[in-house]
Amino acid sequence: MLYIMTAIAFESKHDTITIPRDLFEDMLSSYHKMDQIMATLEVSLDTETMNLIKRSKEDIENGDFMDCSFDEIDDVLA
């Protein structure tokens, strides 16, 4: 059985489709870009998160932070 879908032909065999690898990679890349855009919009529209980001920027500008390595985080937060 041959299907035509928006100028892309594929053959259905046992509930599977075959598409060119480069097309699949383009589709996957588009999905990841859209996922990143959605995550950015979620953060941007969350007032509480945006206020925390603004406060953190102000803390950094004022030198109100501690510099530590990843291994030291638990000690710094204690």
- Burial string for 55-70 (b: 16+ CB within 10 Å, else e) reads eeeeeeeeeeeeeeee
pLDDT of residue 16: 76
pLDDT of residue 67: 87
pLDDT of residue 12: 59
pTM of the model: 0.53
pLDDT of residue 43: 95
pLDDT of residue 15: 73
Q: What is the mean pLDDT of each run of 10 residues along the chain (78 residues)?
A: 54 74 94 97 96 95 90 88
